[in-house]
């Protein structure tokens, strides 16, 4: 077979071997190798390395899509100065993943609406995916619905086993589980099945005292909390809603602009808008 015939078959061979980076880059690399006189093994190694590194990137991208994290909620965009009870160093250590995920330890984030729980959860999830871990973020209600559907089809155990592929399950807004969902123990079974094996992160508006509506009865509530907290890091995010804070800030800056362009007679009205600012936690 002449070299040109062999070369003509290369794209087909590389596609069959599932080597897309190799297939895209070999003409450029070969040209450079010919020009610079690379030994054949150097060319081969360079293409293999590229395939491997791009394959890893493609894998991370796939896992990022599968993780269903809210886009843009990363540690870079999280302002730690607004939540003094959350240590940036601690979060950065957790975002490395090592140790706690292998041991199936949990993370719990408590705080009023708008305190940044979902942002923090998505940000930790994002970092973990970048490091090769598998993460799934879902509202607890959606996940419970999925488990209930599986139970109806007599496939709850299999459904819970499927979720095992995720190193971390982020159950967002556990306090919003609906009453009719709480009548089944699907959520408890998930928590029990992952205990000390696979990690769970939970965000909640309510402290444990308000969790009785989430599980069918008190004994199960206690048993679920017991398993969740046994090995857990807890973030208490008792800060003013970020949404409200930014709305106040916008209103205040608006009133500042007004103040510059209007007469003194409107001053008292503007001070009224600015007043809520003094409530903001520092
Ligand atoms: P929660 O889940 O506690 O109700 P979210 O995480 O959804 O709150 O936060 C509400 C909004 O405020 C989101 O857009 C989020 O990105 C933003 N936010 C909250 N806390 C912070 C923070 N500390 N730094 C930057 N943005 C924040
Ligand atoms: Mg939230």
Task: Give me the half-sphere count of Cα atoms (radius 13 Å) on the Cβ side of residue 80.
Answer: 13
The pLDDT-based confidence of 183 (bands split at 50, 70, 90) is: confident
Give the pair of three-digit tokens for residue 146: 């999925």
Which of 118, 116, 123 minimizes the C-alpha distance to 239? 116
The alpha carbon of residue 202 and the mean position of all alpha carbons in its chain are separated, in whole angstroms, by 12
Task: Give me the half-sphere count of Cα atoms (radius 13 Å) on the Cβ side of residue 57.
Answer: 8
**Helix, coil or strand: residue 232:** strand
Mean pLDDT is lowest, of 69-73, 112-116, 277-281, for: 277-281
**Helix, coil or strand: residue 107:** strand
Burial tier of 20 (Cβ tally within 10 Å: 0-12, 13-18, 19+): middle
Q: Which of 119, 123, 282 to mutate to test the pocket of ligand 1 (most atoms within 8 A of CB)?
A: 119
* Per-residue DSSP letter, 102: T
Question: Strands 199-204 and 135-139: what pairing?
Answer: unpaired
The pLDDT-based confidence of 223 (bands split at 50, 70, 90) is: very high
Strands, E assignment, 27-148: 106-110, 135-139
pLDDT at 83: 94
Q: Is the pLDDT of residue 274 over 50?
A: no
CA of 22 to the centre of ligand 2 (A): 43
More confident residue, 182 or 261: 182
Report every protein residue that has its C-beta within 5 angstroms of ion ligand 2: 118
Query: CB of 115 closer than 6 A to ligand 1?
Result: yes
Which of 136, 211, 33 minimizes the C-alpha distance to 25? 33
- What is this structure's pTM? 0.82
Query: CB of 114 closer than 6 A to ligand 1?
Result: yes
Query: CB of 118 closer than 6 A to ligand 1?
Result: yes
Q: Identify the nearest ligand to the CA of 243 by its number.
A: 1
Query: CB of 243 closer than 6 A to ligand 1?
Result: yes
Burial tier of 268 (Cβ tally within 10 Å: 0-12, 13-18, 19+): exposed
Closest atom of ligand 1 relative to the 112 alpha carbon: 3
Place of tokens 């857990």: 232
Task: Give me the half-sphere count of Cα atoms (radius 13 Å) on the Cβ side of residue 83.
Answer: 24
Count CB atoms within 10 A of the CB of residue 221: 18
CA of 77 to the centre of ligand 1 (A): 10
What is the rounded distance in angstroms from the CA atom of residue 21 to the CA atom of residue 55?
Answer: 8
What mean pLDDT do residues 151-177 have?
96
Taking each helix axis from N to C terminus, what angle separates 40-67 and 20-36, rounded to the nearest 10 degrees?
150
Q: Which of 74, 114, 120 to mutate to test the pocket of ligand 1 (most atoms within 8 A of CB)?
A: 114
What mean pLDDT do residues 148-172 have?
96
Q: Identify the nearest ligand to the CA of 115 by its number.
A: 1
Mean pLDDT is lowest, of 6-10, 33-37, 57-61, 85-89, for: 6-10
Which of 132, 61, 66 minimizes the C-alpha distance to 96? 132
Residue having the nearest C-alpha atom to atom 5 of ligand 1? 116
Helices (H), 74-172: 88-96, 117-130, 140-152, 156-162
Find all residues with CB under 8 Å of 177, minimum gap 6, and list them.
140, 141, 144, 187, 213, 214
Residue having the nearest C-alpha atom to atom 21 of ligand 1? 116
- Strands of the sheet with 232-236, listed across from one edge: 135-139, 168-172, 199-204, 106-110, 232-236
């Amino acid at each position: 077979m002449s070299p040109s015939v062999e070369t003509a078959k290369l794209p087909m061979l590389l596609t069959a071997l599932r080597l897309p980076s190799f297939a895209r880059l070999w003409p450029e690399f070969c040209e450079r190798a010919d020009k610079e006189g690379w030994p054949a093994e150097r060319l081969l190694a360079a293409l293999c390395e590229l395939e491997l590194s791009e394959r890893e990137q493609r894998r991370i991208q796939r896992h990022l899509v599968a993780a269903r994290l809210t886009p843009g909620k990363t540690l870079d965009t999280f302002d730690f100065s607004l939540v003094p009870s959350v240590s940036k160093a601690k979060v950065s250590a957790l975002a490395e993943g090592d140790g706690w995920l292998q041991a199936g330890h949990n993370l719990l984030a408590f705080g009023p609406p708008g305190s940044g729980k979902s942002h923090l959860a998505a940000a930790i999830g994002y970092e973990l995916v970048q490091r090769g871990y598998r993460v799934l973020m879902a509202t607890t209600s959606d996940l419970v619905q999925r488990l209930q559907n599986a139970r109806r089809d007599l496939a709850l155990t299999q459904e819970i086993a499927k979720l095992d592929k995720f190193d971390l399950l982020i159950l967002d807004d556990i306090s919003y589980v609906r009453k009719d969902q709480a009548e089944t123990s699907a959520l408890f079974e998930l928590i029990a099945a992952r205990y000390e094996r696979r990690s769970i992160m939970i965000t909640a508006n309510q402290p444990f005292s308000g969790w009785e509506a989430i599980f069918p009865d008190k004994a199960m509530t206690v048993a679920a909390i017991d398993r969740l907290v046994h090995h857990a890091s807890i973030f208490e995010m008792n800060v003013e809603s970020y949404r409200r804070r930014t709305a106040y800030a916008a209103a205040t800056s608006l009133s500042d602009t007004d103040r510059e362009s209007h007469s003194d007679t409107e001053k008292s009205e503007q001070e009224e808008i600015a007043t809520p600012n003094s409530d903001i936690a520092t």
